[in-house]
Amino acid sequence: MAIDIFWRIPTHGEPSSLRNKLHHRGDWSQQEGDHIVHRGLAGGGGDGFNSLDYIAEVARAAEISGFHGGLIPSFPMTDEPWAISSFLARETSTFRFMIAFQPGFLNPVTAARMTASLQRASNGRGLFNIITGGGGPAQLWWGDVAPHDDRYARTTEFLDVLRSLWKGGSYSHQGKFYQLENAALPEQLLGQDFPEIYFSGSSDAALVSASQHADFYLSWLEPFDQLKEKFDKVKEKTDKLGRKVKCAVRVDIVARATEEEAWREVRRGFENLSDADKDRYARFAQQTGDSVGANRQRSNAPKNLDNYQDFILHPNVWSGFSLLRGGQTNGIVGSYEQVAERLDDLVRLGADSFILASTPHLEEAYRVGEEVLPLVQGHSARNSVLRAVG
Amino acid sequence: MTIQFYWHVPTRGDGRLADAAVKLRGERNDEQPYFTAGVTDPRGRKFNYYDHLHQIGKAAELAGFDGLLVPNDPEGEESWIVAGYLTRNTRRVKVLATFDSARGSAVYAAKNAVSYQRFSNGRFAWQIATSANVAERRANGDFIEDADIPQRTEEFVTVARHVITETGYSFKGRFFEVLEGGFKGPLSGQAVPQVFLTGQTEADLAVSAKLADVHVFEALPLADLQPYLERLQELSAKAGRPVQAALRIDLLVRETAAEAVHDAARQARQQGQTALPDKAGLWALQTPGAGAARATLVGDADQVTAALEEYASAGITVFQLGAVPALEEAYRIGEQVLPALRARLGLSQQQAA
């Protein structure tokens, strides 16, 4: 079985390289914890262009370069993936829209109709990154009231309803969260591919839900031994329930012609950090929150923030990415060959799919697609020696 | 005076001229070859109904309409997906998505709407209408009582409007809740989608006076419509905010009145009607599919233009027009009715987006 490699859509805008934190693609910038509108490239001005035009460029770059599609994230301050997908369905060809969303935000019948319609509009290119994590007041910001533990039960029930409607015919349901009477998808929406489901969440409740509905269990990059443990647990648990869930890793990379050049990129970014950036990182590293995944990432933070090399966890694995841009801490840094080798290492640990990202997403989609993807062996390299696991 | 013309986009399929049958133009299935074995088919399954929807959107824009009306047809394509698809592929027209207030979190709807606004430079609008049919609602997972619908609509619009226009907004109602909500940074400063509401009851009109930018009336003879228009005006004056009146009406226009009557009669017979009018005017003729108007203006271009002018003179400022087939008739109406009507009403021929 061959692996799938996706790209990621930078809905938060982005700088022109990791060396610089000033966002000017898309239409926003981040300064001192608050977000201000920064009219840079594609600034939504009177010329009729807006940030979606840059996003469309990235999506086109990803499909031209050989990626399956891209993860379209959902954050409080960024544009929504359902909107992006419906807008870009027609001007892309093979790009698959991985829509990140929380089931609790939509009526499941509405969601089923949206999904089937998007499949028709895009020739079956929609898939989901189902998110349930987080919790507390943040959830009420979105207008959602269910408590944390209940929310995985709701995710499960939501996806049950979606799958039942998908089969066609009339469907009634009396559940804890949803009630339907003679619901049905219209004839013209039937027969589409059900979206593949990438599932996130590290808690036990998440794993129970994943074992019923996930096609891919999606994790951030973690230290390789921890990741192997996690994947083994997921595969064991889901195998027992009769549903074989595959695993996927969402990871940022810096790939250059030589390892030295790759590290130089990281070092420059690190040296350009302000004290305020480092303070913010230190505060993040001390927090604890409801998300098990975010807590696991914090546990690897070094004590002092003076040398970028203190963030190296394994050969080619650097844990300081969240200093350079928002998001997860760990990423892969190296030559094209090394990055491909580390991805193959992850395949041996159980990964069947990747969501890669690199800044800036437009140029790097071409670079990674042209230089790194052709070197990745996937499962065809299963018998070679495992190099980076320590 | 500004008058806006919206064009109805049929999401469950389109038809032939004055024919009750509906088909998904452009779609083919593998079981039945579309051409005989004697004719090669170059296209296979390359196209589907979305290609036709795209054509309709383009046609309406080229024909000079100001907006597209995307209905919430439970038997058709989902309205927000269609709206996004059409918005990206048009330049100027407003895109009015119809949906019900049971679609989920009002904050999430508002947040998606903000993206639609950002991606279209403010061309997105909302028509919120919850089905009056209990069975239809329950099939949609919605077990609300009839009497509660206006309040839910009100809460939905209230929450949406506030999270779009301010931050730190909290609300706890019967149907929706939000804590410290509101969109920041690039998502701030977007226009709230224009809100269209529907219904002919006193309660419906009262909600519109309070919240709607536009209230949409079903097609009725002008004399029957007049009291509603007056009531809306009273309520809106009392509320101290202007509410525009819209008319949802379908058209069957032909070169001559006789042709129009002939075609209307054929469609009416196909739909099982027996007592048919014998002259141009407002017929109780429904184009197939949800979102169809309750009645159809039948006549030649002059007659239909004159009838629409009367509605405009009575206070209608937004027309939601439709006809079958949507593509061909968008051109006909755009060529033969809109320019004449705009001229009579003293409107400029091309509205700004």
User: What is this model's ipTM?
Assistant: 0.95
Domain span at B138: 4-29+44-344
Choose the closest CB to A83 out of B76, B78, B116: B116
pLDDT number for residue B186: 84
* Token pair in block for residue A265: 């990129």
B-chain CB neighbours of A123 within 8 Å are: 48
Does residue B191 sit at the A interface (CB-CB below 8 Å)?
A: no
The b/e string for A93-116 (b: 16+ C-beta within 10 A; e otherwise) is eebbbbbbbbbbbbbbbbbbbbbb
State the CB neighbour count (10 A cutoff) for residue A301: 18
* Token pair in block for residue B55: 């054509």
A-chain CB neighbours of B187 within 8 Å are: 77-79
Tell me the C-alpha distance between A324 and A322, whole Å: 5
Does residue A105 sit at the B interface (CB-CB below 8 Å)?
A: yes
Residue ranges and CATH numbers for the domains of chain A are: 4-252+347-381 (3.20.20.30)
Single-letter amino acid code for the residue at B191: A
Give the chain A residue whose CA is nearest to the CA of B175: A143
Does residue B273 sit at the A interface (CB-CB below 8 Å)?
A: no
B157 in any annotated domain = yes
Tell me the C-alpha distance between A308 and A306, whole Å: 7
pLDDT number for residue A12: 84
* Token pair in block for residue A49: 């262009």
- Quote the number of domains for chain B: 1
A114 and A82 Cβ atoms separated by less than 8 Å: yes
> What are the pLDDT digits (tens) for B224-247?
999 999 999 999 999 999 999 999
B349 in any annotated domain = no
> What are the pLDDT digits (tens) for A6-40?
999 999 888 888 887 777 677 655 443 444 444 44
* Token pair in block for residue A143: 């207008």
Single-letter amino acid code for the residue at A118: L
B109 in any annotated domain = yes
Does residue A182 sit at the B interface (CB-CB below 8 Å)?
A: yes
Can you give the pLDDT of all 390 residues of chain A as single tens digits?
A: 799 999 999 998 888 888 877 776 776 554 434 444 444 444 445 567 788 999 999 999 999 999 999 999 999 989 999 999 999 999 999 999 999 999 999 999 999 999 999 999 999 999 999 998 666 788 899 999 877 668 899 999 999 999 999 999 999 999 999 999 999 999 999 999 999 999 988 777 888 888 899 999 999 999 999 999 999 998 988 888 778 899 999 999 999 999 999 999 999 999 998 888 888 888 877 776 666 666 666 777 787 788 899 999 999 999 999 888 878 889 999 999 999 999 999 999 999 999 999 999 999 999 999 999 999 999 886 555 555 544
Tell me the C-alpha distance between B79 and B85, whole Å: 10
Cα A278-A281-A282 angle, rounded to 5 deg? 85
Domain with B236 in it: what CATH number?
Answer: 3.20.20.30
pLDDT number for residue A178: 97
Q: What does residue B296 show for φ and ψ, rounded to 5 degrees?
A: -125, 135
Contact B141 A77 (CB under 8 A): no
* Token pair in block for residue B317: 């400022």
Contact A143 B107 (CB under 8 A): yes
Residue B271: is its pLDDT beyond 50?
A: yes
B297 in any annotated domain = yes
B318 and B244 Cβ atoms separated by less than 8 Å: yes
pLDDT number for residue A25: 75
Residue from B24, B78, B90 whose CB has the most chain A CBs within 10 Å, to mutate: B78
Choose the closest CB to A108 out of B108, B141, B183: B141
Cis peptide before A360 (omega within 30 of 0): yes
Which whole number is the average pLDDT over B73-85? 96
> What are the pLDDT digits (tens) for B275-297?
888 899 999 988 877 778 999 99
Choose the closest CB to B184 out of A77, A79, A161: A77
Q: What does residue B134 show for φ and ψ, rounded to 5 degrees?
A: -60, -45
Residue B164, H or E segment: helix B149-165
Residues 6+ apart with CB under 8 A from A254: A18, A262, A265, A266, A318, A331, A332, A333, A334, A358
B352 in any annotated domain = no
Cα B46-B48-B50 angle, rounded to 5 deg? 125
pLDDT number for residue A382: 53
B190 in any annotated domain = yes
Does residue A86 sit at the B interface (CB-CB below 8 Å)?
A: yes
Closest chain B C-alpha to A68 CA, distance in angstroms:
20
Does residue A146 sit at the B interface (CB-CB below 8 Å)?
A: no
Which whole number is the average pLDDT over B148-172? 96
A-chain CB neighbours of B178 within 8 Å are: 140-143
B-chain CB neighbours of A83 within 8 Å are: 84, 112, 115-116, 119
Contact A83 B179 (CB under 8 A): no
Which residue matches tokens 């030295």?
A: A260
pLDDT higher at B82 or A135: B82
Put simply, the chain B residues between 117 and 156 with a CB less than 8 A from any chain A CB are: 118-119, 121, 135, 138-143
pLDDT band, very low/low/confident/very high, at B352 (cuts 50, 70, 90): very low
B34 in any annotated domain = no
pLDDT number for residue A1: 79
Question: What are the residue ranges of helices labelled H in chain A?
Answer: 51-65, 81-88, 108-122, 137-141, 148-166, 204-213, 224-240, 259-271, 275-286, 292-298, 321-324, 336-349, 361-367
B298 in any annotated domain = yes
3-state SS assignment for residue A312 = strand
Choose the closest CB to A183 out of B141, B180, B185: B141
Cis peptide before A76 (omega within 30 of 0): no
pLDDT number for residue B29: 77
B112 and B84 Cβ atoms separated by less than 8 Å: no
3-state SS assignment for residue A269 = helix
Tell me the C-alpha distance between B154 and B314, whole Å: 28
Tell me the C-alpha distance between B233 and A267, whole Å: 67
